[in-house]
Each structure stands twice: as C-alpha cells, then as structure tokens.
Structure 1
Amino acid sequence: MGHINIKKIALGVILIILSGISLLAAFYSLEVKPGLVAKEQATLKKLKASEAQIRRRVKDIQKTKTEGLPTVTMPPTGISKAETPKGEAPVGAPLKEEDKEPVISLKTLAEEAEDVYGPEETRRQEGLLWVDRKSSKLIITLGAMNGLLPGKQLTLYDGDKEIGQVAVDLALDVVSFVHPIPQSLELLQNNYYRVVAE
C-alpha cells in the first residue's frame, strides 16, 4: 500500500512540474515574445529613419557643393594664431583640410532648425539683444529661422522706447551677431534690450 502511494505522489509531482513548465511557456509566448518583437520593430524603424536622415543630409551636402548655395563660415573663435597649441599648424602655414573652418549652408541650417524648433519659432519677429561687454559682441535671439540675413536692419527698444537700430553681421539658426547703427557699443548702457524685425 505504501508503494502505491509513493507512485501516486511521484506522478502528482511530475504532473505539477509539467503544468508549471506549460504555464511558463504560455506566459512567454503570450506576453514576453510580443513585447520583444515590438521593441525590435521599433528599433528597426528608428534605424531606418536614421539611415534616411543620413541619406538626406548627404544629398543636401552634395547639392550644396554642386549648386553653390550661399554659405557662411563660422565666426572666429577669438584665439589668435600666436596662441595655437602644440601640434597645430604654425602661424602662416597652410591649413590642412581637417583644420579648415566648417562651412554651413543657410538653407540646410534653416530646414533642420525648423524640424527642431517648430513653426512657432519661424513666425517669431521679436527677440532679445544681449550686450556681451567682455567680448564686445552683440547677440540677438532671432536668426535665419526668423528670416534674418546678413545686412538686415532691426529696431532696438529699451522697454517701449525706440533707441536705435542694429544690423545683422552673421545669422545662425535662432541667434545672430549684430552691430549697432550708427552708435557705438558704449552708448548701450544696459546688458539686455528688446529687438524687433519689421
């Protein structure tokens, strides 16, 4: 009689283990596997989108080289040639290809910035002017996205009072470097002013 009970108990334990394994297999196939497949598909979509974006940028670069669209070089860094660190080209030496300043296409810059900042930034015609007294530069929070090009004149306000104009020297995506017309930097007493593109 004890021998029959041991067989029944062993058979019961084996059936319980098999049902546990079946339960785990069902959980994996119904819950875990679809989640893994969805993550894999999302990763593939991101990868394809990245590849498409890279192809688009390569086409834009090639188009810029062939069409000769207007380009802008980056502003100087403020480091004199005499201060060049060791390992860089000495003063007066011709620049290597990798040492040349990057060239930026305004059209490509504006398209990429519009994707990043959205249409609200494009419509904005009012910004702030910051007077950087340390470097004697004037920077405004409007750029190529807002339709600014080098030479464009903007009205300068101190509160609601019109105090003069500034002209764009270099327009980047959402900021620009400007200079005052006709006054000098010393006449601007505050560090921040309101600027309007009309």
Structure 2
Amino acid sequence: MTDTLVLTWDVIESVGHETAWVRFADDLNSFSAHGRAVGTTPEPYWISYELETGEGFVTRRLRVRAERADSTRTLELLHDGEGRWTANGAPVPDVDGALDCDLGLCPLTNTMPALRHGLHRSEGEREFLMAWVSVPDLGVHPSRQTYTHLGRTETGGARVRFASGTYRSDLEVDTDGTVVDYPGMARRLDARTVRTA
C-alpha cells in the first residue's frame, strides 16, 4: 500500500479546476504524479498529464494531452538528466540546462524547485531556467524564474516569492512544498492523503 497525496485547486486564471494525485518516493527525494484540469479561458479545454521526477525532484518526463473543441494535442517532454530536452522526439535547445518543467496554470509544477532547494523551509533565493509548457497549445518555451523564501507561516509552511520578468506573486506553500495559495492564479480547495494499492 502507498500513500497518495490528492490536491485540488480552484484555478482562477483559467476559470477552472485541477486535481493532482502525487506519490512521493520512500526517500522523499522524488515524486510521480498525474492530474487533470479543466479551463474555460481563453477557451474551454481539458488537460491531463503525467509527471515523473528523479532524484532531487529533477523532471524526467512530462506527458500532456490537451483537448479543445476543434483539436487534440499531445506532448511528451523528456529530460535526459544532463540538461537536454526533447519534445515529441525533437530537441528543444532553447531550454537546455533547465532541470524543471513548468506546466502552465498547474500549481503542482511550482513544487519541484522549492523542494530541491528547501525554499519551503529556510531562507534562500534561487534563479532557474524552466521548460515552460503553455496551455492549451502545449508549446515549449524557455522561462527564467526566481524563487525567494520570504518567511514561515503559522501552519509550518512558507511564503515564497515567484518572479519571472516583471511578474511577481507571493505564494503560500505547505510543509510538503505544495501550493496552498498562488494569488491571481490558483487557490487550493482540498488536500488529503489516501492509501492506494
């Protein structure tokens, strides 16, 4: 039997919702997850994804399926563990050197860099290059991002500032490093642990 963390967010920016099922490895140094999201802005769409990280929460694989009224797209984004990426088998040199994917409007993918550097527990600031996947078109783009620990919360989590270009948002994360509140983008509705086979 395995414990699965089940997280559900109200995704304000897409006027939709997302649920993710997350399984941390026994050593708590990696996780695998799958999730589903529905959005209505800029148009109605469904997203389903599978995410796998390796040691240190470095992305190994992200598979995404996006359905719109007139089309369905799929993406398999693979990281070779040394900083090189492919999207559906084709190299993506613009994101070479990135360790993390960042699925657009998906609060779960803010978790990996915070966990890897302990920014949900202690002071620090880190800059990252991300392989950002826009939704619902599933384009892969380079994104420079900065995460800064701002302080602990009364519940044992932390406030972490997310910055990219001129954009700033102060996130609240829990003790697992998962997003509780991402002002303007998403707010968590439910979190529970379930025992699965």
Same-fold call, TM cutoff 0.5? no
Higher helix share: 1
Q: In terms of Rg, which structure is larger? A: 1
Q: TM-score band (shorter)? A: under 0.3
What's the TM-score, normalizing by structure 1? Answer: 0.20
Higher strand share: 2
What's the TM-score, normalizing by structure 2? Answer: 0.20
